[in-house]
Structure 1
Amino acid sequence: MSNKYEVNNSSVESILAWIKQGEIAIPEIQRPFVWDATKVRDLIDSLYKGYPVGYIITWKNPDVKLKDGTLATGKKVLIDGQQRITALTASIVGQEVIGSNYKKKRIKIAFNPLEEVFEVSNPAIQKNSQWIEDISIVFKNEFSVWSFIPQYCDNNNIDSSQSDKVGKAIDRLLQIKNSRLGIIDLSHNLDIEVVTEIFIRINSKGVVLSQADFAMSKISSNEVYGGDIIRKTIDYFCHLAQNPVDFEAIKSNDIDFVNTDNFNAIKWIAKENEELYVPSYTDLLRVAFTSKFYRGKLSDLVSLLSGRDFETREYKDEIAQKSFELLHKGVLNFVNETNFKRYIMIVKSAGIVDSSLIRSKNVLNFGYILYLTLKDKGIEANKIENIVRRWLVLSLLTGRYSSSPESSFDYDIKRFNESNDIEALVRNVEEGELSDAFWNNILVTKLNTSVTSSPYFNMFLIAQISSGDKGFLSKNIDIRSLLEQRGDVHHIFPKKYLQSNGVNNRGQYNQIANYVYMQSEINIKIRDKAPKVYFGELKKQCEDNNLVYGGIDSIEELKENLAQNAIPLDVFDMDIDNYQEFLNKRRLLMADKIKKYYKSLI
């Protein structure tokens, strides 16, 4: 491994100078500083006492060949140690940092030369003359030890015998800038998998960096091709999607970015309250990359942003430039208000109205990739809607992106990009993966589970939402309303009834075929009655209009409600002896409902 990394030691002063000169790029310098002030204090205290503070890890960008044939030396990108370096620039240099709310703030570390202790500066310390309220003052060029010490001693009535102690403490404080930090320089020849493994093994906290983290590092380290603007666009959009209240803080904090077209492209998201699809920077990056490069593996993006020619294995500046331009377009396509809202409209029109119905966000990610790809191909809007809806539901039904999503993304996007007949491509996949065997056997078997977050139970709910079905025994409240109000699922065969009759296995009484969305007040009245008992009372309710369970007052309406909830009609006469029979029959009805729903999309 000797040719794959180097281990060096450099002074704090040298590292800060390299960062200032741009020799080391800090990829997350505009992202929030997550350390609290006490951690900054502890870092300074460790340096003062000569304790080790860990390694920082850099990853060298490759040297790239310019158009004139010369080589440009690649920067080193800081991939681990950003918080420590930012802490040093905040406390020693006195720079402001950006907090979690995107507001700038100062972190002042105070020092008491007599006690040789550090503390986070506060009003009490600022009034106490024994404390240097901000150590960054000591590190400024104009600071004079010779004038400071007599003044400090005079202010604190310190006699000459103790002035030497103060002088030594200040001198030791100044030596922090000469403290050595270990630097592990990783070669650009290392692929992401190796870099990730090295990072995990070195990082004592077990933090895992994703391929998206490395890609974001590469993006922000290249300001020549607007990487810093791309990075901010991604970060700010995703942050505002989750925390729109920070809009004004970002606006006042980053004036330069506010004056760009990119800011105008993303500011709309701060006024939205959409919880169905709230993308992380990984989601945004993946969609932007795959929809424009027709590749699914983010490791390829890292290579392309570095300028790699996959055929010659050289690194060329024109490839890096083109890759940044293409990625920028992909990011702007993602954050485009019209694109985003129309895609969400398509998702909801399929009955997918709540994030709880989607276990894998990668389904939504690829759906958006497909939408943007088909739009770029100039396909008619109504055809795009139909294809994207079907693909979303097909992906949920088959667990298409649950495992090895990158490989699946890569395979699918290449087929969609190369196909001259998208509709035929989708039909072929449907015929192969959603055959009669799937609907009649595989899906029924998948419904034999007690996992309430099962994608198949969710798909049943989606089918109900799409049909506008009412909740179990509800006259007016539909499934969508119950779901959006965070309603609960309840048992058709009450749990206590099953347990009192010997069904104590949780996997049996909690079968999803025994679940329905039901109003709580109806469930409370059912309590632990056998189905044939409370259904007998429901029949009587329909005959004499003495409403006990909800507002249904006719047999026809009751039967329609059972059909909407895929409940067999012979439930009227069922008790504990019929429980397994009930589950088997309901699974068939649930599978049939999902099938009819899917066919309605075609």
Structure 2
Amino acid sequence: MRDGQKAALNLANWHHFMDALKLAGYRSEKMISSGTTIIFSYVLYLIGLRDYGVDRVTMRQTIAEFFFMATLTGRYTNSPETRFESDLSLIRDLPDGTAFLARLRALCTTTLTGDFWTITLPSQLATSASRSPSLFAYQAALIKLDANALYSPLKISAMVDPAVKGTKAALEQHHLFPRGYLEETGINDLKQINQIANFAAVEWPANIKIGKKPPADYVPPLDHAMSADERDRLYGWHALP
């Protein structure tokens, strides 16, 4: 018990584990929708290090993958203790570290199936929830892709850096079809206005400048300022047609 407590409170272990979250693309606490998922992932990280002798670098990569899966799917949101006990039962008494890593990756593979990506996730994205795990996972993916904010030379990863703080968030979610514009056209349902698909990551000055202009007005000048390759890459990152 004391040895386990010592390992859990070891700052070197904790900071290296936190690097796994960054490796998964989660660079800001504002992107975390479940603190429980962090704690349970840390437990698995320590089990890999202490009980199965997995080296730190390999363990960090595997936990990064597992954390992404667990937070995206809300694995430990409902009845978290019961679910975690079930997961623990799957990793007990394995022969070695290789088997342990394989079991964790198998959990990811059997959860993030083809049907998840083509059916479950699209349905989860049809939401106006501002703290949706699927939205945070998308933002994490943009960070992993080293993507720029929409119509910006700045990387999203730099804009969410927790070391940089100001009176206003550097990164904001911009309505592609602004709320004011939609309301003028008769669309007043906030569930429609605030759909995840109607948001893109932008710098806050750009968000203010766009105001309630429709895309037909604000997009052409921004497009003309980029090369065709830059525009295609930007549209790919931000899932624009």
TM-score for both structures, normalised by structure 1: 0.37
Contact 1:363 1:392 in 2 (8 A): yes
Contact 1:489 1:516 in 2 (8 A): yes
Which of 72, 75, 100 lines up with 1:422 in the alignment?
A: 100
Residue 350 in structure 1 maps to residue 24 in structure 2: yes
Which of 207, 211, 228 lines up with 1:527 in the alignment?
A: 211
Looking at structure 2, the residues matched to 463 and 422 of structure 1 have their Cα atoms a distance apart, in angstroms, of 26
Contact 2:73 2:133 in 1 (8 A): no
Residue 375 in structure 1 maps to residue 53 in structure 2: no
1:458-517 Cα offsets, whole Å, 9 max, x none, are 000011111211111102x12123334533211111111111111100000111111112
Residue 504 in structure 1 maps to residue 178 in structure 2: no
Task: State the match for 1:435 in structure 2.
Answer: 113
Looking at structure 2, the residues matched to 338 and 382 of structure 1 have their Cα atoms a distance apart, in angstroms, of 13
Query: Which SS does the other structure have where 1:518 is aligned?
Result: strand
Q: Which amino acid aligns with 1:416?
A: I
Task: State the match for 1:101 in structure 2.
Answer: none
Looking at structure 2, the residues matched to 520 and 356 of structure 1 have their Cα atoms a distance apart, in angstroms, of 17
Task: State the match for 1:279 in structure 2.
Answer: none
Percent identity over the alignment is 28
Contact 1:419 1:425 in 2 (8 A): no
Task: State the match for 2:176 in structure 1.
Answer: 492
Task: State the match for 1:360 in structure 2.
Answer: 34
Task: State the match for 1:567 in structure 2.
Answer: 240
1:278-317 alignment runs, 5 A limit? none
Looking at structure 2, the residues matched to 397 and 560 of structure 1 have their Cα atoms a distance apart, in angstroms, of 25
**Alignment root-mean-square deviation, CA:** 1.6
Task: State the match for 1:330 in structure 2.
Answer: 4
Query: Which SS does the other structure have where 2:92 is aligned?
Result: helix
Looking at structure 1, the residues matched to 200 and 38 of structure 2 have their Cα atoms a distance apart, in angstroms, of 26
Looking at structure 2, the residues matched to 426 and 336 of structure 1 have their Cα atoms a distance apart, in angstroms, of 23
Which of 76, 94, 98 lines up with 1:401 in the alignment?
A: 76
Contact 1:373 1:417 in 2 (8 A): no
Structure with greater Cα Rg: 1
Query: How far off its partner does 1:373 sit?
Result: 0.3
1:51-200 alignment runs, 5 A limit? none
- Kindly indicate which of the two structures has a greater share of residues assigned to helix: 2
Looking at structure 1, the residues matched to 211 and 20 of structure 2 have their Cα atoms a distance apart, in angstroms, of 40
TM-score for both structures, normalised by structure 2: 0.89
Looking at structure 2, the residues matched to 382 and 563 of structure 1 have their Cα atoms a distance apart, in angstroms, of 31
Query: Which SS does the other structure have where 2:63 is aligned?
Result: helix
Contact 2:20 2:64 in 1 (8 A): yes
Contact 2:66 2:108 in 1 (8 A): no
Q: Which amino acid aligns with 1:478?
A: K
Task: State the match for 1:265 in structure 2.
Answer: none
Which of 225, 230, 234 lines up with 1:557 in the alignment?
A: 230
Looking at structure 1, the residues matched to 56 and 5 of structure 2 have their Cα atoms a distance apart, in angstroms, of 21
Q: Which amino acid aligns with 2:220?
A: G
Contact 2:151 2:222 in 1 (8 A): no
Contact 2:172 2:207 in 1 (8 A): no
Contact 2:16 2:60 in 1 (8 A): no
Residue 339 in structure 1 maps to residue 16 in structure 2: no
1:204-235 Cα offsets, whole Å, 9 max, x none, are xxxxxxxxxxxxxxxxxxxxxxxxxxxxxxxx
Query: How far off its partner does 1:536 sit?
Result: 2.1
Looking at structure 2, the residues matched to 334 and 525 of structure 1 have their Cα atoms a distance apart, in angstroms, of 48
Looking at structure 2, the residues matched to 417 and 381 of structure 1 have their Cα atoms a distance apart, in angstroms, of 20
Q: Which amino acid aligns with 1:456?
A: S
Looking at structure 1, the residues matched to 191 and 81 of structure 2 have their Cα atoms a distance apart, in angstroms, of 33
Q: Which amino acid aligns with 1:563?
A: G
Query: Which SS does the other structure have where 1:378 is aligned?
Result: coil
Ranked by relative contact order (alpha carbons within 8 Å, sequence separation 6 or more), the top structure is 2
Contact 1:363 1:395 in 2 (8 A): yes
Query: How far off its partner does 1:371 sit?
Result: 0.9
Give the count of matched residue pairs: 230
Looking at structure 2, the residues matched to 410 and 385 of structure 1 have their Cα atoms a distance apart, in angstroms, of 22
Query: How far off its partner does 1:332 sit?
Result: 0.9
Which of 157, 180, 197 lines up with 1:480 in the alignment?
A: 157
Provide structure 2 residue ranges, at least 5 long, that are not aligned to the other structure.
none
Contact 1:482 1:517 in 2 (8 A): no
1:126-275 alignment runs, 5 A limit? none
Query: How far off its partner does 1:394 sit?
Result: 1.0
Task: State the match for 1:458 in structure 2.
Answer: 136
Q: Which amino acid aligns with 1:530?
A: P
Task: State the match for 2:145 in structure 1.
Answer: 467
